[in-house]
Amino acid sequence: MSVIVDDHDALVLYNPTVPAHSNVSSGWLQEGTQTEFTKTTSSSVTPGETATFTFTGSSVTVFGTLGPPPNLGNASSMLFSIDQGTPSAFIAPAIDNTTHHELIWTSGPLAEESHTLVITQNSPIRQIFLDYFLYNTTSSTEGKTVFIDDSDAPVQYLGDWAPQSNEEYFQHTAHLCETPGCSASLAFEGTSVTLQGQVSSGPGCNVSVVIDGAPPVFIVTPPPPPSSVKNSSPFNNQLFTTSSPLLPGNHTITFTTLNAAPFSVDYFLVGNDPSITGSTSTTAGSSLPQSYPTVTNGPSPIHGASTSTVIAAAVGGALGGLVLLALILAALLFWRRRTKRLNRAAADEEDSEKSFQPHRPQLPGWTGRPHSVASVATLIDDTRPQPGDELSKIARPLSGYIYYDNNRAGGEFGSSP
C-alpha cells in the first residue's frame, strides 16, 4: 500500500528553511495553493540546499508542482540520491503554464527496509516545488496515512461514471458522475477514511454514505468559494467527508449519488491511529478538524451496501417522513373540526337561552278592569259568579288580585278611570 507524506511533515528535514513570503533569497521557501496536498509546497533557489526524507518501504516517488522557467533557455534542476547512492538529476521541462501533481522522481524497487532520500537543489532557478511523497510498504501503517487514488483497484464503481484527466487531479485522474444511482465503494483497513474531489458552481450533489452496512448518512457536497464561482472554474482538492473514528480493522464505505448534480471522486485518505481501541472508539466527532460533514459508523457486520439498498433506504426514509407528516396533518384537521363543532354547539345554546320567553297564560278580558264587588277590597279566591256583575258571567281563575268598588267615587283607591 502507498503511504503519503506531505512536504511539510516532520519526517522531511530541510536545510535551511525560511518562512513563507520571506524576503530572504536563500533557504527552502514553504508556501502552497488549494490544488496542492494540504495546500503546501517547498522550493529553493540556492544550489546545495537539501531536503532529507527517511522511510521504511520498498519504493518512493516524489510529486510536485512545476512552473514555467523565468527565462527561455534556463531550467531548474534537482538531484535525488537514495541511501547515499549515485545522484540522479531531474531537469524541469520548458512549459508555458504551471502544472500540479507531476511525478518528479521515483526510486524504483527497493528492499523492504529503512531508506533515506536526499534531495539537493542544483540550480538558482525556482521552478520545482516539492508537494508530497508516496512510498510503498508492506510494514505496519500504524500512525501513517494511506493514499488511495480513484483509479486504484480497491475502489469499485457502479453506474454511469466517466473517467476524468486533468493536471489538477491527484495522479491526474478522477471519476465523475452526474446522474443519480452512481455508487463508489472502497474496502480499506484503518481507523478513519476521507474522500476528496472536485466541486463546481451550481447545486451540490446529494450523496448517501454507508459504512459497514450501517444506516446511511446523507451529505451534500460543499459549494466552491466565491472566487471559483466568479471565474466559473472548478474547485479541486475539496474535502467531502471524513468518518468518525472506527475500530481498527477492515471496513467498507459506499457513496451513492441521489440527484443529477456532479459528484467527483479524486482520492481517499485512510488513517491508522494506534491510540484507538475498542474502548476508545467512538461514533461521534471527527478525526480531522478540517472535515466538512462527518460520517458515523455503525455496529453492523462488515459488508458493502449495494446501490439499490442505499436508494431503497433513502426512499423509505422519505416515505416514512411523508406518512408521519400526513398523520400529523390529519390529527390537526380532526382537532380543528372538533373545536369548531364544540364552539358551534355552545353558540347555539347561548342563542337559545337569549331567545327563551317564559310562558304567560292567556287571562280573561276582564282582568285588571274595574267591576263591582260587595266590599272595597276583597281577595278573591273562588270562581263563583258575583250577582249583578256582567263580568261575573266569565269565570275567574284562582288569583290573589285585589278588586275595588266601581261605584265609590273618590274612595280609598281614588276615582274610577
pLDDT in tens, 220-253: 998 877 765 555 567 899 999 999 999 999 999 9
| Other Cβ atoms closer than 10 A to 247 | 15
Give Cα separations from 290 to 89, 240, 284, 287, 293 (angstroms).
37, 10, 15, 9, 9
Name the DSSP letter for residue 386: P
User: Which of 87, 76, 196 lies closest to 130, judged by CA?
Assistant: 76
Q: Letter for the amino acid at 269?
A: L
> Phi and psi of 267, rounded to 5°?
-160, 160
Q: Give the pLDDT confidence score for residue 230 in this predicted structure.
A: 53
Kindly state the helix (H) or strand (E) to which residue 15 belongs, with its residue range.
strand 12-15
How far apart are the C-alpha atoms of 242 and 44, rounded to whole Å? 34
Where in 144-285 does DSSP place strands (E)? Answer: 145-149, 155-158, 162-165, 173-177, 183-189, 192-199, 206-211, 217-220, 235-243, 250-257, 263-265, 267-271
Q: Is the pLDDT of residue 16 over 90?
A: no
Q: Is the pLDDT of residue 314 over 50?
A: no
Mean pLDDT score of the chain? 79
Give the model confidence (pLDDT) of 194-226 as tens digits.
999 999 888 899 999 999 999 999 999 988 777
> Phi and psi of 236, rounded to 5°?
-95, 170
Give Cα separations from 175 to 170, 187, 197, 317 (angstroms).
11, 17, 9, 28
Share of the chain above pLDDT 70, in %: 67
| Other Cβ atoms closer than 10 A to 187 | 15
Contact 2, 136 (CB under 8 A): yes
- Give me the residue label for grid cell 534556463: 74
What is the SS3 assignment for 192?
strand
How far apart are the C-alpha atoms of 186 and 4, rounded to whole Å? 18
Establish how many alpha carbons lie within 13 A of residue 33's alpha carbon, considering only the half-sphere containing its beta carbon.
12
What is the SS3 assignment for 321?
helix
Name the DSSP letter for residue 376: S
Q: Which three cell numbers stand for residue 389?
A: 256583575
Q: Is the pLDDT of residue 304 over 90?
A: no
Q: Give the pLDDT confidence score for residue 376 in this predicted structure.
A: 41
Q: Is the pLDDT of residue 70 over 90?
A: no
CATH 2.60.120.260 correct for 141-305 = yes
How far apart are the C-alpha atoms of 147 and 193, rounded to whole Å? 10
Name the DSSP letter for residue 407: T
Please state whether beta strands 28-31 and 17-18 pair in parallel, antiparallel, or not at all (unpaired): parallel
Q: Give the pLDDT confidence score for residue 233 in this predicted structure.
A: 64
* pLDDT tier, 348 (very low <50, low <70, confident <90, very high otherwise): low
Contact 217, 296 (CB under 8 A): yes
Q: Is the pLDDT of residue 51 over 70?
A: yes
pTM given for the model: 0.67
Average of per-residue pLDDT across 186-193: 97
Q: Letter for the amino acid at 101?
A: H
CATH number for the domain running over 1-139: 2.60.120.260
Please give the span between the terminal C-alpha atoms of the chain, in angstroms, as a whole number.
129
